[in-house]
């Protein structure tokens, strides 16, 4: 009988590349696959692997994450011993402050491990879509008597520069590691899933905390320094589906991949249920004029229009004569008659007016976030209202909570509609003209 396991789940990152979707919520709380949130996959992996002691480290915009996880009941993590804990930064002693990095976040919470028998600690990330039995990795780790084991996955050559890339010998020992290399020597990428021997983690984090030159990041600082010291670090190859959804395009593609006849990840496996917060919502309602093809629709949605190749969350209403194609609609978004949505991501509680058209396609990259919004999608923030008859083009970005009066007409490709009621500094990107417009309207 092995000792009980203990996991730290890193959920504090900013997720800047997801642009609007993670502006007001932590990336792990971004809705995914119609009824889930990204973190559901990692949390479910924990409980399905029999790990019932899960510490979620939060920092950036934790409200929606806190609300979603609650006391952990949906994952059977509402427990007397162990269970789920949400650990944000706090003040009180000289060691406590904002988390300076992933390693520092764990360091500041190591105290919680003291009363636990676990010998090996799991460090997980809440940003990925995958189904993994961590026990197999723990077994590998113990079998190799490793100090640290890093889960790795094979990524295409063009993506190696986004990950920590490992070189392994025939037994899986790490013989080379580079964080986000310009030119990679392998295609084995770190999944951000680590098993540390308890004493190794403790010593490594104490040393890292005192290193003034460290950015306090596992991938950038802690692992390279352990390797430099000659520690026994192994790579565990995870051969199944693993998807980073950290960019708008990857997020969109991973959602739409669920619509394939044989999707890369099976959400209906009774032996590996993906648990999520319980919403008491009725079955999907399809009306007299409904027409639905190749789509995923969550309970509580009401469809009277046409939905093709789309992912529809709870509470979404698609009215008669509206058309949704190749799109992602999040909770409680409403599309009025005659409106058309194509190649778009609509965050929660968006209102698309009658005859409006939100249509991605091709066009110039977004003017304020060209690095993140250039793949042709139209992106509409939470609570925004698209006025009747307005057209929104490719790579356009409509900010959260914008109202009809914030539109000056159609929104061309790559354009932006700001919310003038939000102070410019509070937005993730520069805000030209917003202040003047707000002043004028006063």
Among 33, 353, 387, 420, the residue binding other proteins under the rule CB under 8 A is 33
Residue with Cβ nearer other proteins (47 or 204): 47
For residue 160, the minimal CB distance to other proteins (Å) is: 32
When asked if residue 284 is in the footprint of other proteins (CB under 8 A), the reply is yes
* Shortest spacing between CB 383 and other proteins, in angstroms: 17
Whose CA is closest to 329, among 339, 343, 316, 338?
A: 316
Asked whether position 312 contacts other proteins by CB under 8 A, the answer is yes
Member of 50, 287, 370, 389 binding other proteins (CB under 8 A): 287
- Selected from 2, 96, 282, 405, the binder of other proteins by CB under 8 A is 282
Interface residue with other proteins among 3, 253, 273, 423 (CB under 8 A) is 273
Binding to other proteins by residue 300, rule CB under 8 A? Answer: yes
Report the C-alpha gap between 305 and 333 in whole angstroms.
Answer: 14
Q: Is 322 in the site for other proteins (CB under 8 A)?
A: no
Q: Note whether 391 binds other proteins by CB under 8 A.
A: no
Restricting to residues 399-438, which ones interact with other proteins according to CB under 8 A? Answer: none
C-alpha separations of 83 from 4, 8, 68, 116, 278 in Å: 12, 12, 15, 13, 18
- How many angstroms separate the CA atoms of 304 and 363, rounded? 31
Distance in Å, CB of 349 to other proteins, minimum: 13
* Cβ atoms 242, 191 nearer than 8 A: yes
* Interacting residue with other proteins among 288, 409, 430, 439 (CB under 8 A): 288
Find the distance separating the first CA and the last CA of the chain, reported in whole Å: 69
Give me the least distance between CB of 307 and other proteins, in Å please. Answer: 8
Contact between 274 and other proteins by CB under 8 A: the answer reads: yes
State the nearest-atom distance from the C-beta of 336 to other proteins, in Å: 16
Closest CB to other proteins among 120 and 326? 326
In the complex, least distance from residue 310 CB atom to other proteins, rounded to whole angstroms: 10
Q: Is the dihedral of CA 176, 180, 182, 188 positive or negative?
A: positive
**Residue 299: φ, ψ to 5°:** -50, 150
H/E stretch holding 205: helix 198-210
Nearer CB in complex with other proteins: 141/275: 275
* Beta carbons of 57 and 12 less than 8 angstroms apart: yes
CB of 294 to other proteins, least distance (A): 5
Contact between residue 243 and residue 129 where contact means Cβ atoms under 8 Å apart: yes
Distance CA 388, CA 404 (A): 9
Using only C-alpha atoms, what is the Rg of the chain? 23
Check binding of 296 to other proteins (CB under 8 A).
yes
298 binds other proteins (CB under 8 A): yes
What number of residues does the chain have?
442
From candidates 299, 391, 427, 428, binder to other proteins by CB under 8 A: 299
Measured from the CB atom, is 24 or 275 closer to other proteins?
A: 275
Among 289, 371, 405, 436, binds other proteins (CB under 8 A): 289
Does 57 participate in binding other proteins (rule CB under 8 A)? Answer: no
Please say which residue, 189 or 301, places its beta carbon nearer to other proteins: 301
Q: In this structure, are residues 41 and 9 in contact, taking their beta carbons and an 8 Å threshold?
A: no
Of positions 14, 267, 365, 422, contacts other proteins by CB under 8 A? 267
Which residues, other chains included, contact 405 with Cβ-Cβ below 8 Å and sequence gap of 6+? 441
Q: Would you count residue 280 as binding other proteins (CB under 8 A)? A: yes
Q: Is residue 347 within 8 Å of 382, Cβ to Cβ?
A: yes
The residue with tokens 């027409």 is: 291
Closer of 9 and 297 to other proteins (Cβ):
297
- Minimum CB–partner distance for residue 270 and other proteins (Å): 9
Sole binder of other proteins in the list 17, 24, 27, 35 (CB under 8 A): 35
How far apart CA 345 and CA 407 sit, in angstroms, is 19
Under rule CB under 8 A, residue 278 binds other proteins: yes
Q: Which is nearer to other proteins, 348 or 357 (CB)?
A: 348
Cβ(112)–Cβ(6) under 8 Å? no
Show the beta-strand stretches assigned E in 232-274.
233-237, 242-244
CA-to-CA distance for 412 and 345, rounded, in angstroms? 16
**Per rule CB under 8 A, count of chain residues that contact other proteins:** 35
Q: What are phi and psi for residue 192, nearest 5 degrees?
A: 70, 25
As a whole number of angstroms, the distance between CA 35 and CA 278 comes to 10
Does the footprint of other proteins cover residue 281 (CB under 8 A)? yes
Rule CB under 8 A: which residues touch other proteins? 33-35, 261, 267-268, 273-276, 278, 280-300, 307, 311-312
């Amino acid at each position: 009988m092995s000792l009980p396991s203990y996991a730290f789940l890193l959920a504090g990152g900013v997720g800047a590349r997801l642009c609007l979707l993670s502006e007001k919520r932590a990336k792990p709380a971004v809705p995914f696959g119609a009824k889930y949130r990204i973190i559901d996959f990692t949390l479910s992996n924990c409980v399905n692997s029999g790990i019932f002691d899960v510490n979620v480290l939060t920092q950036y915009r934790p409200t929606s994450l806190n609300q979603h996880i609650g006391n952990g009941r949906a994952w059977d993590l509402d427990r007397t011993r162990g269970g789920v804990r949400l650990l944000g930064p706090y003040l009180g002693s000289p060691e406590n402050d904002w988390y300076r990095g992933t390693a520092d976040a764990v360091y500041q919470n190591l105290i919680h491990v003291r009363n636990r028998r676990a010998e090996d600690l799991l460090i997980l990330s809440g940003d990925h879509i995958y189904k993994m039995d961590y026990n197999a990795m723990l077994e590998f780790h113990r079998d190799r008597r490793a100090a640290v084991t890093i889960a790795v996955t094979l990524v295409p050559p063009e993506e190696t520069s986004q990950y920590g890339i490992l070189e392994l010998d025939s037994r899986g020992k790490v013989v080379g590691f580079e964080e986000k290399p310009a030119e990679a020597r392998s295609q084995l990428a770190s999944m951000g899933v680590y098993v540390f021997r308890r004493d190794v983690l403790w010593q490594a984090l104490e040393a890292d905390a005192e290193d003034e030159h460290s950015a306090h990041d596992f991938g950038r600082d802690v692992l390279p320094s352990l390797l430099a010291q000659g520690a026994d670090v192994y790579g565990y190859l995870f051969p199944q589906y693993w998807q980073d959804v950290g960019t708008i395009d990857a997020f969109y593609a991973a959602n739409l991949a669920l619509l394939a006849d044989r999707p890369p990840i099976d959400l209906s496996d009774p032996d590996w249920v993906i648990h999520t917060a319980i919403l008491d919502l009725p079955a999907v309602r399809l009306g007299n004029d409904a027409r639905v093809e190749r789509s995923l629709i969550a309970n509580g949605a009401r469809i009277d229009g046409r939905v093709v190749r789309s992912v529809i969350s709870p509470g979404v209403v698609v009215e008669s004569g509206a058309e949704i194609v190749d799109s992602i609609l999040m909770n409680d978004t409403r599309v009025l008659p005659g409106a058309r949505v194509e190649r778009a991501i609509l965050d929660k509680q968006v209102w698309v007016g009658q005859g409006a058209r939100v249509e991605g396609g091709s066009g110039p990259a977004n003017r304020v976030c060209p690095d993140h919004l250039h793949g042709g999608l139209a992106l509409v923030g939470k609570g925004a209202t698209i006025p009747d008859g307005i057209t929104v083009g490719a790579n356009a970005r409509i900010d959260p909570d914008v109202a009809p009066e914030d539109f000056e007409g159609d929104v061309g490709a790559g354009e932006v509609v700001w919310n003038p009621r939000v102070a410019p500094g509070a937005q993730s990107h520069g805000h030209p003209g917003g202040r003047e417009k707000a002043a004028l309207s006063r």
